[in-house]
């Protein structure tokens, strides 16, 4: 069954309740409702079950999963609400690891078991009741005697005031970010200097020790190679000396070969084989000379100097000991020296750096203070305009003795942010001379709903959820006041989807569509049903609301007058 489909739904694209399905909730056995844009009214006799409908919707929006809501004899109750999701919902879902495709409806389903426990789903993905409550803040505001969401929550008052007054906090947001960055840099620098000051004595000693050592990159490997070479030379020194004795000198092998060669030269012509022998001796002498040269080079390269070996070993042990002390590789000592020297230099120059950072913080704080103070002034001007706008709405709603104000108060320093330094809260005083207090503290159920309506009309398009529900906003009033309520609800419904539970014929007559909630008895079974009214049925229902149990022709005539276009 469709509710107020005749309105221009282009105004509501992506932001309203489109359907509600209820199964086995208290007296409701099975109910499927379709919704559209505009003002929808729900009426029925006292005790017909209007509250059950709201309780069911509240369940889908994360309300308490009380097993008492389950219809007697049934295993579970199920409520499914379908919305055209506003943009903010997608962010909430992503933050909770859920997704819906752009343009896809948001379907919230809640099950409550008769033996206790409940489950929740968002587009068939398991969800928590707390997530449903978070989503509800973007979807529906239910205003009734005990509701503490929407406009009654002071946490949203500042943003509502900013939206009403077209107050742009972007300069304050940027100034706050700059201030926070500057303060973080100063805090980090101070922490580094504090740490360095504690280590100053160690740093000075370490830098002096490393500077005196003067390690160089690659030095340890070079020393180790030279040390190994000299140690090898020490071991083969006697063998090299023995080789010299065999090859060189007057009694060495090369001397004897040369002597043999000179003798062979004198007799080589005597026989061909002697010439071959002479050639062989010449080759042996030549090879021996090469060996002699190579040995001479080896002796130079393997020169063994006991003092140099001791010096290299001492340097090598010193480098390795220093590396162990600082827990680095020997080749990293040179870079460590520079690092520690840099830390010491920064420490010595630290006070100057801190002073510069302090100056930066001071300048950033001045900029933020100026931006935040200007923001406060713009909010004060917007608050005065909002107070005046609400005041014009109070008298027609039979709240002429009440006063409304938008209270601005400075936040403590730890409450400052990119949104400024202000705490904003909507307050009322219901009687002359009475002090101002938060809405929920001093307003009765009917007064509270009318204050909310006055605020909503004043704020017009600014903030709020996609769908609003007023529960018996007309309680305790009639006549001109009820007509004023109906007029304002109709004006508000031009921009926001509204559902109103009402006992007032003046309010009911302003609805774009009308739902009747009624009980039906079938033997021992009682059921609550909801059905849309055709125009003639609507006239009869409004006449009943005017006259009571017996509907008179006079009541029907008055209903016709109420239903005439405004």
What tokens does 422 get?
């202000």
Q: Which residues contact 210 (CB under 8 A, 6 or more apart)?
A: 322, 333, 336, 337, 340
Residue-wise burial string across 358-387, b where 16 or more C-beta atoms lie within 10 A, e elsewhere: eebbeebeebbeebbeebbebbeebbeebe
Q: CB count, 10 Å around CB of 305?
A: 12
| Residue-level pLDDT at 445 | 61
| Residue-level pLDDT at 564 | 85
Query: The dihedral of CA 316, 320, 321, 322: what is its sign?
Result: positive
Of 511, 384, 561, 470, which is closest to residue 150 (Cα–Cα)?
470
| Residue-level pLDDT at 4 | 38
- Tell me the per-residue pLDDT of 248-286, one tens digit each, with 9 for 90 and over: 766 777 778 888 878 888 888 888 888 888 888 888 888
Q: Are 16 and 84 in contact (CB under 8 A)?
A: yes
Domains, the chain: 2-145+445-533 (3.40.50.300), 200-348 (no CATH)
d(CA 484, CA 299): 118
d(CA 160, CA 504): 30
| Residue-level pLDDT at 347 | 72
| Residue-level pLDDT at 2 | 40
Distance of CA 174 to the CA centre of its chain: 18
d(CA 315, CA 320): 9
Lookup result for tokens 């040269």: 293
d(CA 498, CA 511): 9
| Residue-level pLDDT at 241 | 66
Distances (CA, A) of 274 to 267, 271, 277, 278: 7, 5, 5, 6
| Residue-level pLDDT at 8 | 42
| Residue-level pLDDT at 444 | 62
Give me the helices (H) in 349-499, please: 350-394, 439-442, 445-459, 479-493
Q: Is 93 exposed, middle or buried (0-12, 13-18, 19+ CB in 10 A)?
A: buried
Q: Are 144 and 471 in contact (CB under 8 A)?
A: yes
Q: For the chain, which ranges sit under pLDDT 50?
A: 1-14, 145-146, 148
| Residue-level pLDDT at 15 | 62
Half-sphere exposure of 61 (CA within 13 A, CB side): 21
What tokens does 262 get?
């000179």
| Residue-level pLDDT at 462 | 54
Helix (H) or strand (E) holding 95: helix 87-95
- Tell me the per-residue pLDDT of 118-159, one tens digit each, with 9 for 90 and over: 999 999 999 998 898 888 878 887 776 445 455 777 888 998
d(CA 521, CA 59): 26
């Amino acid at each position: 069954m469709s509710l107020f489909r005749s309105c221009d739904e282009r105004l509501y694209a992506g932001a309203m309740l489109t359907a509600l399905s209820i199964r086995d909730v208290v007296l409701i056995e099975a109910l499927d409702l379709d919704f559209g844009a505009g003002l929808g009214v729900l009426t029925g006799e006292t005790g017909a079950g209007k509250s059950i409908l709201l309780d069911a919707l509240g369940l889908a929006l994360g309300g308490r999963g009380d097993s008492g809501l389950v219809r007697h004899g049934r295993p579970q109750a199920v409520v499914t609400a379908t919305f055209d999701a506003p943009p903010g919902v997608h962010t909430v879902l992503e933050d909770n690891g859920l997704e819906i495709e752009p343009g896809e409806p948001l379907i919230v389903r809640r099950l409550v078991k008769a033996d206790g426990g409940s489950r929740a789903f968002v587009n068939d993905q398991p969800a928590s009741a707390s997530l449903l409550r978070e989503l509800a803040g973007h979807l529906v505001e239910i205003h009734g005697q005990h509701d503490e969401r929407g406009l009654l929550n002071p946490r949203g008052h500042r943003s509502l005031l900013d939206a009403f007054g077209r107050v742009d906090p972007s300069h304050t947001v940027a100034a706050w970010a700059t201030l926070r960055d500057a303060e973080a840099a100063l805090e980090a620098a101070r922490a580094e200097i504090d740490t360095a000051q504690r280590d100053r004595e160690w740093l000075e000693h370490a830098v002096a020790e490393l500077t005196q050592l003067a390690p160089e990159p690659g030095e340890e490997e070079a020393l180790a190679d030279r040390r190994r070479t000299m140690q090898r030379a020490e071991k083969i020194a006697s063998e090299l000396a023995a080789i010299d004795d065999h090859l060189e000198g007057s009694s060495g092998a090369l001397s004897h070969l040369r002597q043999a060669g000179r003798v062979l030269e004198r007799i080589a012509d005597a026989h061909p084989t002697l010439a071959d022998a002479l050639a062989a001796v010449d080759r042996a002498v030549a090879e021996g000379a090469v060996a002699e040269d190579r040995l001479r080079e080896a002796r130079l390269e393997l020169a063994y100097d006991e003092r140099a070996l001791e010096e290299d070993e001492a340097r090598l042990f010193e480098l390795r000991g220093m590396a162990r002390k600082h827990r680095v590789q020997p080749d990293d000592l040179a870079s460590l020296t520079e690092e520690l020297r840099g830390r010491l230099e920064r420490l010595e120059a630290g006070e100057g750096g801190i002073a510069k950072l302090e100056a930066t913080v001071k300048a950033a704080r001045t900029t933020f203070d100026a931006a935040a103070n200007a923001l406060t002034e713009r909010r004060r001007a917007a608050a005065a305009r909002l107070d005046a706008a609400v005041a014009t709405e109070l008298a027609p709603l039979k709240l002429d003795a009440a006063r409304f104000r938008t209270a601005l108060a400075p936040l403590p320093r730890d409450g400052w942010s990119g949104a400024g330094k202000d705490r904003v809260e909507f307050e009322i005083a219901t009687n002359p001379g009475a002090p101002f207090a938060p809405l929920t503290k001093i307003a009765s159920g009917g007064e509270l709903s009318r204050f909310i309506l006055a605020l909503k009309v004043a704020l017009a398009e600014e903030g709020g959820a996609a769908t609003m529900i007023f529960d018996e906003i007309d309680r305790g009033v009639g006549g001109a006041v009820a007509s004023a309520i109906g007029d304002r609800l109709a004006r508000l419904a031009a921009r926001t989807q509204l559902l109103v539970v009402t006992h007032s014929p003046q309010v009911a007559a302003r609805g774009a569509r009308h739902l009747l909630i009624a009980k039906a008895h079938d033997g021992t079974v009682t059921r609550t049903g909801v059905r849309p009214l055709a125009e003639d049925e609507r006239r009869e229902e409004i006449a009943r609301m005017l006259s009571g149990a017996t509907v008179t022709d006079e009541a029907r005539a008055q209903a016709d007058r109420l239903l005439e276009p405004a």
